Amino acid sequence: MASVAELKDNHAKATAEVNSLRERLRKRRQMLLDTDVERYSKAQGRAPVSFNPTDLVCCRTLQGHSGKVYSLDWTPEKNWIVSASQDGRLIVWNALTSQKTHAIKLHCPWVMTCAFAPNGQSVACGGLDSACSIFNLNSQADRDGNLPVSRMLTGHKGYVSSCQYVPDQETHLITSSGDQTCILWDVTTAQRISIFGGEFPSGHTGDVLSLSINSSNTNMFVSGSCDATVRLWDTRIASRAVRTYHGHEGDINSVKFFPDSQRFGTGSDDGTCRLFDMRTGHQLQVYSREPDRNDNELPTVTSIAFSISGRLLFAGYSNGDCYVWDTLLAEVVLNLGTLQNSHEGRISCLGLSSDGSALCTGSWDKNLKIWAFSGHRKIV
Amino acid sequence: MQAGSGGGGGDAGDTRGRHRIRAELKKLEQEARFLEEELEELEKTDKVSAALQELVVTTESKADPLLPVTPGPACQSWDRWFEGPQDLRRCKCWFL
C-alpha cells in the first residue's frame, strides 16, 4: 500500500500536471483569438446604434415594495412581472396597468431570487433559507391573507442565489446555490433530479450566483460563479460540466444566453461584461467601462439582459448606472441611470418582456421601472 | 508525517490522511483527463473570426422594438406601453 508520503508526492505531481495543462489550454486559446466582435464589426463597416435623448423612456414606475428589490422575472406571455424584495415579499404586477395582483409574504424574508412558471400560474423564490419555495397564484389565501407554499424544494446546503423554470416545462426548475452546485428539480414531487457540481470534478469551486437556460435546447444551461468561471451543463449528464469558460477576474453575478442561443453574456465584479461562444468556448468580446476620472473603484456589474435581437446589452452597475451597450461595436449608446425619471439607487436586476418591447429594471430604491421605445422607429 | 505503517495511535490518523489524499488525487487525475480532452478538442476548433459573420448577420436581421432602426415586421403591440391611460381606477397602490 502506498505510504502517505508517496501519496503526497503523487498529489504534488498531479497538481503540477493539471496546472501545466491549464496553461497550455490558455495559450492555445489565446492563439485562436485573432479578432473580436468589435474589431470585426468595425472592419465590416457596421453602422452604430444611435439614440435620440428621448427614444428610450421610463413609461411605468411600479411602487409597492418597502425594501430593496433584488430580483424580477416576466411571464413568457401576458405582461406580468414577479419581483422579490428585502421586505420579505414577492409582488406580482400587471406591468401594463401597474396593478398589483398578488403580494406574497415569505416565511424567510431573506429572498434573493424569483421566477415565473412558463404558464404564469406559479412563482418560485429562494434565498438564505437554502430552499426554493413554490406558490400557486390560484390557491386560496389563508386567514391572514397569505398565500400558502405549495412546494418547498429543500436539499441545497447553501443559499439559493438564482432559480429558473425550464422553458415549456412547468414541472422542472433549476436552482443555483452558495453550496457550489446547481440542482434540477421535479417541482411536482419536490425531488432532486440531478445535482451539477459538488462531489464531481469539473464542478464550480465557488458559490454559484447565476444561471441561464438555453431556450433553443433546454437540456443545456450555463452557470456563473464566484470562482470567476462560467460552466456549461447538459441536464442529461450531471457528472461533468460540458465546458468551462475562463476570462473574468471576479465573481460572475449575472449570466444570460444571447438570443441566438449559441452565445451567452456575463456580468462580473471585475466591472466588465463579456460575450462567449458556447460551442467553441471562445471569449468573443469584453465590454469594459472607461476608468473613472477620479480613480474611484470600478463599479461592478450586477445584472445583464440582451434585447431581443441581441444588438443591445443592458448592464446594471453597482453605482446606479445602467449602460446600454451596442454589442457589435462595443460602445455605450445610452445610460438609463442618468435619464429623466431614473432610479435613485443601484439597479440590481433587469429583464426583457417576451416580445422584447419593454425592459424592466429593479432597484435598491425599492421600485421597478418599465422602459420602452417612444421615438420614431425606422423599419428597413 | 511518518512514512510506512506506523504503530499505536498514529494508525487511525494515517488512514484518514491516506483516504483523503487518495480521493483528492483521484479528482486531480480526472481533471487532468478532462483538460487533455479539451486540449484535443481545441486543436480542431476554428479561430474566433470564423464564428463572427453568423453572429453579425443574425443580430442585424432580427426585428427589435427597442432599436431606432430595425428590420421588420413591426408589431402594433410594441407600442402598447404608450397607448391609452393606465387603468388607475383599479390600481390599488399601497405600501407594504
Per-residue pLDDT reduced to its tens digit, A211-232: 999 999 999 999 999 999 999 9
Under DSSP, the state recorded for A325 is E
Cα A129 to Cα A153: distance, rounded to the nearest angstrom: 11
User: Does B69 reside within a domain?
Assistant: no
pLDDT given for residue B61 in this prediction = 95
Q: Is A41 on the interface with B (CB under 8 A)?
A: yes
Binning pLDDT at 50, 70 and 90, where does residue B3 land? very low
State mean pLDDT over B6-15. Answer: 56
**Which of A33, A282, A339 to probe the B interface (max B CBs under 10 A)?**
A282
User: Does B85 reside within a domain?
Assistant: no
User: Does B87 reside within a domain?
Assistant: no
Asked if residue B4 has pLDDT above 80, the reply is no
Helices A4-32 and B10-43 pack at an angle, to 10 degrees, of 20
Is residue A318 within 8 Å of A344, Cβ to Cβ? Answer: no
For residue B48, what are the domain limits?
9-60
State mean pLDDT over A250-274. Answer: 98
Average pLDDT, chain B: 79
For residue A37, the surrounding DSSP H or E stretch is helix A37-43
User: Does B73 reside within a domain?
Assistant: no
Report the share of chain A in percent with pLDDT over 70.
Answer: 99
Asked if residue A284 has pLDDT above 80, the reply is yes
Task: Tell me: ipTM over 0.85.
Answer: yes
User: Does B35 reside within a domain?
Assistant: yes
Asked if residue A78 has pLDDT above 90, the reply is no
pLDDT given for residue B11 in this prediction = 61
Chain B positions touching A100 (Cβ under 8 A) are: 92-94
Chain B positions touching A240 (Cβ under 8 A) are: 34
Asked if residue A57 has pLDDT above 50, the reply is yes
DSSP letters spanning B22-79: HHHHHHHHHHHHHHHHHHHHHHTPPPTHHHHHHHHHHHHHS--TT-SEE-S---GGGG
Binning pLDDT at 50, 70 and 90, where does residue A84 land? very high
**Which of B59, B60, B78 to probe the A interface (max A CBs under 10 A)?**
B59
Binary contact (B48, A32; C-beta < 8 A): yes
Cα A255 to Cα A153: distance, rounded to the nearest angstrom: 23
User: Does B75 reside within a domain?
Assistant: no
Q: Is A6 on the interface with B (CB under 8 A)?
A: yes
Q: Is B17 on the interface with A (CB under 8 A)?
A: yes
Structurally, how many domains does chain B consist of? 1
Binning pLDDT at 50, 70 and 90, where does residue A53 land? confident
At A232-252, the pLDDT tens digits run: 999 999 889 999 999 999 999
Cα B6 to Cα B14: distance, rounded to the nearest angstrom: 8
State mean pLDDT over A178-200. Answer: 94
**Omega before A299 cis (within 30°)?**
no
Binary contact (B93, A64; C-beta < 8 A): yes
